[in-house]
Amino acid sequence: MANDKKMVEQITSMDTDFAQWYTDVVKKAELVDYSGVKGCMIIRPYGYAIWENIQHDLDARFKKLGHENVYMPMFIPESLLQKEKDHVAGFAPECAIVTIGGQNKLSERLIVRPTSETLFCEHYKNIIHSYRDLPKLYNQWCNVVRWEKTTRPFLRTSEFLWQEGHTMHENEEQAREETLNMLKCYEDFYRETLAIPAVTGRKTEKEKFAGAKETYTIEPMMHNGVALQGGTSHYFGDGFARAFDITYTDRENKICYPHQTSWGVSTRMIGAIIMTHGDDNGLILPPKVAPIQVAIIPIAQHKEGVLEKAGEVRDILANNFRVKLDDSDYSTGWKFSQYEMKGVPLRLELGPRDIENNCCVLVSRVTREKKVVSLDNIAEEVEQALAAVHNELYERALNNLSEKMSEARTHEEFLDIAENKPGFIKAMWCGDSECEDQLKDETGGVKSRCIPFVEEKLADTCVCCGKPAKHMVVFGRQY
């Protein structure tokens, strides 16, 4: 039959060409397809199911913290975007602009939202009047557009899907607390759901969000040592509130400006999953977001009773897990490779001899260890095996992060590591953005990732200029 000829296609080895490996994985695991629209991707069912699982988990976390979902228009009138000057300066270069509507030239051009601070502020002005109206804890799931010259699926596309939280608070203290709480929410999600460890901290002045007073970031490290900005949380102070004239009457009957935050994560996280956990056999998905958690592969499925028993096991497991029984006529070897490539965390093999012994074989996608387990308590066995996969993935990623974390005490050491060792570099910094620029130029792209919450004192002086150091910074190349 035609199908038997079709083999699992080869994936380029990570060590040979990491970029090509990434492209092979996203295409061959059927996560995305390219579209005729420059810089925009098609998210295919297997990729979109990962996003749905991410949304489901994160949305529950947000709601538990008291947030409500809303939906704002996708268009921003140009004059509205211009109300906060730092903000418009940051986004103007990457805007897509609608100039024609209903066959007429528009009197005011409309920006396709690159982010929605300005729209939320316009709405907040209408609905915030008293301290009783605060806090406002709003979030939206939507698409945004930032025009990009060079694009890669999930990592950098002109259109992407994300969530953006926008909150308003009575005072600085509460807004700052929200900013940090949401960064923690992301950190927990990365660790507990995606099995991804990360460096977290505050962005330097140069790297923060356009219009923000502070930007906090979560920076996981990809398998090749390159950073991915995995999510950000911003404290705005009352800058936007002043620009948009949003005021409220406080508990002492005084007119005040509320304090604001915003925070977001995007489909980029799927890129982080691929590049943190994947290997030369393809994708490895953390169990909590895997569209298929267990692939049941019947062995010698033509033999009497095999498919029947496999069906029973599938039905038992389907109560608690996302499970797929593959009874197609592809060869067993092809099936093994296929589900490995698609990153299914656990394979369950079941053949005639297993059935005789009332057992089956569980195979971890991470360690490839085989474990014979009884069918009597298969649901518990699978639960434990999936938890083990999650932990194995996290430990492996944590080891990678530790191994590729270097310290530089001198300028020469910094340049040497930047050239010869992939990964992050901890180094002291004077606080001057010119030093960041110089280090970036000298290394061809190593930038400050963040100032971690807990700083070590590696030296007294800036690794670049030698002046007194103010902070320890984690540097690294980025996607």
* Residue 220 DSSP SS3: coil
Distance CA 188, CA 191 (A): 5
Q: How far is the CB of 175 from a copy of itself (least distance, A)?
A: 20
Closest CB to a copy of itself among 148 and 170? Answer: 148
CB of 46 to a copy of itself, least distance (A): 9
Task: Please state the closest distance from residue 35 (CB atom) to a copy of itself, in A.
Answer: 5
- Among residues 249, 221, 149, the alpha carbon closest in space to that of 398 is found at 221
Give the nearer residue to a copy of itself in terms of CB position, either 45 or 305. 45
CB of 102 to a copy of itself, least distance (A): 4
- Nearer Cβ to a copy of itself, position 42 or 458? 42
Q: How far apart are CA 436 and CA 416, in angstroms?
A: 16
Calculate helix-pair angle for 378-403, 268-277, nearest 10 degrees. 90
Note the maximum CA span of the chain: 81
> At closest approach, how far in Å is the CB of 251 from a copy of itself?
11
Per CB under 8 A, residues contacting a copy of itself are 2-3, 33, 35-37, 40-45, 48-49, 51-52, 68-77, 80, 92-103, 109-110, 112, 119, 122-123, 126-127, 130, 132, 138, 142-143, 145, 147-149, 158-159, 161
Q: For a copy of itself, which is the closer residue by CB, 125 or 409?
A: 125
Q: Please state the closest distance from residue 190 (CB atom) to a copy of itself, in A.
A: 22
- Continuous segment of H or E residues that includes residue 307: helix 306-317
3-state secondary structure of 313: helix
Give CA separation, 253 vs 58, 128, 170, 358, 362, in Å. 37, 14, 13, 74, 66
Which lies closer to a copy of itself via its Cβ, residue 220 or residue 343? 343
Nearer to a copy of itself, 71 or 302 (CB): 71
Nearest-approach distance from CB 43 to a copy of itself, in angstroms = 4
Name the residue nearer to a copy of itself (CB basis): 66 or 305.
66
Please state, in angstroms and rounded to a whole number, the distance separating the CA atoms of residues 447 and 289: 31
CB closer to a copy of itself, 130 vs 399: 130
- Please, what is the minimum distance in Å from the beta carbon of residue 422 to a copy of itself? 31
The set of long-range contacts for 411-414, using a CB threshold of 8 Å and a minimum separation of 24, is: 411/463, 411/464, 411/466, 413/463, 414/439, 414/443, 414/463, 414/464, 414/475
Residue 138 beta carbon to a copy of itself: minimum distance, rounded to whole angstroms = 7
Is the CB of 99 or the CB of 420 nearer to a copy of itself?
A: 99
| Minimum CB–partner distance for residue 167 and a copy of itself (Å) | 13
In 3D space, the residue among 72, 89, 126, 81 whose CA is nearest the CA of residue 108 turns out to be: 81
Q: Which residues touch 63 (CB under 8 Å, ≥6 apart)?
A: none
Whole-number Å distance between alpha carbons of 43 and 34:
9
Q: What are the phi and psi torsion angles at 331 (to 5°)? A: -70, 160
CA distances from 103 to 37, 99, 100, 106, 110 (A): 22, 10, 6, 9, 15
Burial of 218 per CB tally in 10 Å (0-12, 13-18, 19+) = buried
Q: Cβ closer to a copy of itself: 100 or 379?
A: 100
In 208-358, the DSSP E strands lie at: 214-219, 231-237, 248-249, 255-256, 259-266, 294-298, 323-325, 346-350
Cα gap 50→441, rounded to integer Å: 37
